[in-house]
Amino acid sequence: MKKLILYCILLLGLLTACNTDIIEFSDPEYPSRYCILTDAERSNLFDDFQSDLKMYFEVDSFGFLERKDGTHRGNELFSEEINDLESVEEIIRSFVHANQKFYGISDFSLLNAEYVYSEWASYGGTLVQENENDRNRWMVRYENQVFNGIEVYDTKIGMYVSGKGVYQTYGHWYSAIHLPQKEDVSFDEAKQTLVGRKFQYYDWGGGKETVITADAFYTDDNPEMMIIPYRKSNCIEMRLCWKITSKTIWNFYVDVMNGELVLNEQTVIF
């Protein structure tokens, strides 16, 4: 009986802790969530994955593609030359179209390349470059996702391509995002939530601590929003935030619905 009572007390404590973690929003559909999948769900997704190079990929816990470490380093991937960006983009376009559920991209034209790199991978001379302009390995990185005119944080997509296809990738877009019709916290109110808060950082002299004051903010800046994929427990929440650029070494991202500081991003690395 004592053990049963103790178990009930522990269970009640866990339930109370979980309930205190629940945040109510005025918009019941906010925020959109991506939650961790079961192993069976991940396996079913991978079965649907369309690629001749499946051995180099896996599906992460949220159902997005990621590379399988250490398995793509072989010269068999690079035995064919591919010398023009147009051909590379066609390979990427076909790959994304066949696997839209993993990327959340329905229109390839929305992808804007911000970085392109190509080279000849000889692998110790086992592959011969017949012309100095020959290429067999490409990398294309695309800009962050923009949803309804609002940038989504940390959603750059990278594609690694050989003549045999896309063999490595990182990043993803989010197809399920719900934006509230109005903000409950204004831009200026979001700034005020930060005043008096302490933030730690490290420079060459070691650990430092700074208290944010009202003078840390610009007075003539234009309100800007960003969607932050915020990891909370077993889910990723798509949080609409005010992006607040300070005169200090941080950018702050404050939820427009409840004033919660979702992310503080250090902009200066010492």
Contacts 24+ apart (CB under 8 A), 91-99: 91/161, 91/165, 91/166, 92/140, 92/159, 92/161, 92/166, 95/51, 95/159, 95/165, 95/166, 98/50, 98/51, 99/49, 99/50, 99/51, 99/65
* Greater pLDDT, 96 or 71: 96
pLDDT at 40 over 90: yes
Contact 103, 96 (CB under 8 A): yes
| Non-local CB neighbours of 46 within 8 Å, separated by 6+ positions | 54, 57, 58, 59
HSE-up of 262 (CA within 13 Å, CB side)?
A: 27
Average pLDDT of every residue of the chain: 88
CA distances from 87 to 13, 77, 124 (A): 59, 16, 26
Number of CB atoms found within 10 A of residue 263's CB: 19
Q: Where are the alpha helices (DSSP H) in 152-206?
A: 187-192
User: What would the two tokens of residue 65 be?
Assistant: 């593609």
Residue 233 — left, alpha, or beta (φ > 0 → left; ψ -120 to 50 → alpha)? left
Phi, psi values for residue 122, rounded to 5°:
-90, -20
Contact 143, 169 (CB under 8 A): no
Question: Mean pLDDT across the stretch 180-187?
Answer: 95
User: What would the two tokens of residue 28 be?
Assistant: 């019941």
pLDDT at 94 over 70: yes
User: What would the two tokens of residue 177 be?
Assistant: 């995002």
pTM confidence score: 0.86
What is the model's pLDDT at position 152?
A: 97
pLDDT at 236 over 80: yes
Name the 3-class secondary structure at 125: coil
Report residue 270's pLDDT band, with 50, 70 and 90 as the boundaries.
Answer: low
pLDDT at 105 over 60: yes
